[in-house]
Structures are given as C-alpha cells and as structure tokens.
Amino acid sequence: MARRDDAVRTAVEQGLLGPDAPLAGLLDVTGIRDSAAALRAAFDAVVPPGTPVLHAFAVKATPLVPVLRLLREAGIGAEVASPGELALARAAGVTPECIVLDSPAKTAAELRRALELGVAVNADSPQELSRLDELVRTVRTDSPLGIRVNPQTGAGSIQALSTATATSKFGVALRDEGAREWVVRAYAERPWLTRLHAHSGSQGVPLSLMARGIAETYALAEEINRHVGRRQIDTIDIGGGLHVNFGSDVTTPTYAQYARLLAEAVPGLFDGRYGLVTEFGRSLLAKHGTLVARVEYTKSAGGRAVAVTHAGVQVAVRTVYAPASWPLRIAAYDAKGRPKEGTAVVQDVAGPACFAGDLLAEARALPLLEQGDHVAVLDTGAYYFAHHYAYNSLARPGVYGYAPDGDGGIRFAVVREPQSVEEIVAESGGGRAGALSEL
Ligand SMILES: *Cc1c(COP(=O)(O)O)cnc(C)c1O
C-alpha cells in the first residue's frame, strides 16, 4: 500500500526509527477515518432516518487517548470495561451518553460512578443486577441500563476469544435451565431496564453465526416487550466482534456486508422500533496499524536464515504464544525504509526477548533480510503495539499517527512517547529499592 510505504520511509528519514529507536508503531489516520465513516454509513443504510444509533468503539482494542479523540470526532463513542478505559474515554472528551460500560467484574464503586456520570451499563450477572437494584434506589441517574445475555450460539475458530459458548463467562447464559424466564422476569420487575446486550462475535466467528446470536437477542427483546405489554426495551446493543482479514490488504468482511446481512436476517431490528448500539474494536483499527522494527542482526541456524529484530512478544503477545491462530503479515523494507526487493528466501523473523518461541514469523519467504533493514508487521492497529507486555523490561515503543501532508509527503504526530529506561525503573519499584530489606 502506497500510503504505508510512504509512512515507513518517512519515519526512517525523520528518525522516528533508527539505531536508538529500533521499534515504532504507526497509525494511518486516513484509514481510521475511512473505517469510521464506513461503519456509520453501513448502518445508516439499513435503519430508517432518525433511528438512534451509537457506535461505541471497544476501547480495549486500541487504548490510546488520541485515537479515541479521533474516533469521537468521526462520530464514534466508546465501550469501556474498566476504570482505566473509562478514564481514557473521558480524557479523550467522549461524553457520558456516548459511553457504554461492559465488564464481568465491575465493583460497587465502579457501578456507582458510572451511574453518577450517566454512562450506559450492561449488567453481566444476576449478582450485578442486585447491586444495580440498590444503586437505582439511591443514585439519581440518566444511565441507560440493560442486561448482557449470552445466546450460546457456539464458538468460532479461536476458542479463547469465543464469547457465545455454552460455558462462556460473559452475560446470562440464555439456554441454561430457567435463565430465559429469569431474564424476562428481571425486566418485568424493573421498568428501568431498557436495553438488551449481547456480544457474541469475535475474530474467527463467521457472519452467519454472529447474525444468529443477534437474531436470538432480538427475539428475546420482543418476548420481553410482549410480556410487559409495552416497548420497555428501546435499544439493542449488538456488540462488536467483526472478523478481520489478516491475510491481505483487502477489508473483508465489510461493515456494509454485515449490516446488510443483519437487516435480512433480523428485519425487525431495523424497522425503527429499536435504537441500536454497536461495539466494534478490532475491525475499526487493526488494518490501520503498522509496527516497524529494525533488523539488529542476521544469522543462520541449522540452515535457516534468522533475522533478529526488535518486535517480539512485548508487542505481539498473541502471535508469539498462539502463532497458528494469529499469523501476521510481514513486509520487508531496506535500511532507508524502501520496500525491499529480491528473491524470496525462507527465514525466521525473531523478536528481542530471551525465550526461544519469541518469533513473529517462522519459515516465512521474504527478500533476505540484512542488518539495518526494517520489517513492518502489518494489521497491528488493534490488540498489538498498544498492548505492551513488560517481558524482559523491554520499553513500550513510541506510537505515531500519520497522514498525507497535502504536498506529496507524510506528516507525523506523536500519539504516545516511547517509554524511557527511567520510567521502566520507576514503574518497577525503583523509588523503593530498599523496601524488602527492612522487613
Ligand atoms: C472485546 C469486546 C468488544 C470488541 O470486540 P472486537 O472483536 O474487537 O470487535 C465489544 N464488546 C465487548 C463487550 C467486548 O468484550
């Protein structure tokens, strides 16, 4: 992709990458804006004009304040699952009515704060609903409140990410004995419960399975509203979880495909009687992030060429520990940041961490990497470089946004400074070096 190639070359030219800055995350601002617009257009095309729709970005996918601000400016709110994520959304200026709080482990204080702010809350369990019962008696709140259900429609190809399995820890398991009746009664007894939530998709879940989960959630909302004799549930939160194609630059499936499929599979959800909330994460950001690392050394082992780079487990935890589920594309660039030419040679792309499995790619055919070259790890805008793992006390890399400067070049903005060694020491108890000696 030309814009990415320009960004890598310019980052090298400007010294964002170099001998002393061997790793950086780059975010394509144009791409993020385009995805946000595509998401809004996709659902606007299938609901009657005037239908309330909130697209809440799942903050966990890319927990960086300038990204949340960019999305807010593009008309996207925030889905948060911890006090930290809520604080990030607020720091980005996302207003409470555009924030949704979902987490399976909200504390009493967290719930109270959310209600005081007016942030929407989806109760994950009967015990949490009891806490809400107490709070709504004492806290004056504008928070829309709902229950998260698990339609138990089954797993996708990645077990650890599948939220709609029979025994998933999330939501009220709808097909369990007595659960459906419990949910209907919970709404009948609580006129303030006006939303219903399910997040049944994730990477590796096909669209048809996601649609089935949403169809079941819609059917439950209809059943509840029939039972109480009014439109008590006025908004359905369909979660996120759209699969991302990590195999090429093509975005597939698209939001438009998904929205059209849902409109066909669950037409009643789109006839204007329900407001809609979505919570996409990975599909908004993944393809707009590129991790660029310098090749520090190359060597050969057992006849295999190995490039030792600065991108490994500290920025690609999933790929390093579960490479079969999370393969990443790698593009080779030369020392000046230009796409590297040459015959493909099977080689390993290794990270800097001190354990043998720290590989970003095994036996990958790429132009033979040389010392001082760069590798770009593609599609890493979500759940990768913003999710640093402190193994080997490796520093969090700097993150930079980029966009065309209108003059044929590329402009950068700092999203997050690289972590300094002093910060690593301070965050590792450096200020209390003698703490244990005194015990
Ligand atoms: C993680 C999560 C999302 C976002 O999932 P993606 O696969 O990144 O789109 C949305 N809603 C909830 C409740 C989540 O836990």
d(CA 171, ligand 1 centre) in Å:
13
d(CA 324, ligand 1 centre) in Å:
21
Supply 183's token pair.
């949910």
Cα–Cα distance measured from residue 191 to residue 213, given in angstroms and rounded to the nearest whole number: 25
Point out which residues pair with 401 in neighbouring strands: 27, 413
Give me the average pLDDT of each 10-residue run along the chain (439 residues). 95 96 98 98 98 98 98 98 98 98 96 98 97 97 97 85 84 93 98 96 91 96 98 98 96 97 97 98 98 98 96 98 97 98 97 95 98 98 97 98 96 98 98 96
d(CA 439, ligand 1 centre) in Å:
44
Nearest 5°: CA angle at 227, between 226 and 229? 60
Atom 1 (ligand 1) nearest CA: 58
| Long-range contacts at 67-72 (CB < 8 A, ≥ 24 apart) | 67/27, 67/32, 67/285, 67/415, 68/92, 68/94, 69/93, 70/29, 70/32, 70/33, 70/401, 71/32, 71/36, 71/284, 72/98
Supply 389's token pair.
């793992």
d(CA 60, ligand 1 centre) in Å:
8
What's the DSSP call for residue 287? G
Of 212, 294, 281, 207, the residue nearest 55 (C-alpha): 281
Q: Ligand 1, closest atom to CA 283?
A: 9
Cα–Cα distance measured from residue 99 to residue 1, given in angstroms and rounded to the nearest whole number: 34
Supply 42's token pair.
């996709």
Point out which residues pair with 197 in neighbouring strands: 148, 237
Question: Cβ(87)–Cβ(66) under 8 Å?
Answer: no
Q: Find the helix or strand (DSSP H, E) in which 53 lies.
A: strand 53-58
d(CA 49, ligand 1 centre) in Å:
27
Atom 7 (ligand 1) nearest CA: 241
Question: Cβ(271)–Cβ(285) under 8 Å?
Answer: no
> pTM of this prediction?
0.97
User: What is the three-class DSSP state of 145?
Assistant: strand
What's the maximum distance between 2 C-alpha atoms anywhere in the chain? 73
Supply 143's token pair.
């928070």
* pLDDT value of position 140: 96
* Helix and strand counts by DSSP (H, E) for the chain: 12, 18
Of 293, 282, 292, 295, the residue nearest 326 (C-alpha): 282
Q: Ligand 1, closest atom to CA 161?
A: 7
* pLDDT value of position 253: 97
Q: Ligand 1, closest atom to CA 280?
A: 9
What does DSSP say about strands 398-404 and 374-378: parallel, antiparallel, or unpaired? unpaired
Q: How far is CA 278 from CA 232, 275, 283, 284, in A?
A: 20, 10, 12, 12
Structural domains in the chain plus CATH codes = 2-27+286-418 (2.40.37.10), 30-285 (3.20.20.10)
- The set of protein residues with a Cβ atom below 6 angstroms from ligand 1 is 58, 60-61, 79, 102, 199, 202-203, 239-242, 279-283
How many whole angstroms from its chain centre is CA 268? 28
In testing the pocket of ligand 1, which one of 59, 100, 161, 202 has its CB within 8 Å of the most ligand atoms?
202
In testing the pocket of ligand 1, which one of 57, 80, 279 has its CB within 8 Å of the most ligand atoms?
279
Residue 431 contacts by C-beta under 8 Å, 6 or more apart in sequence?
none
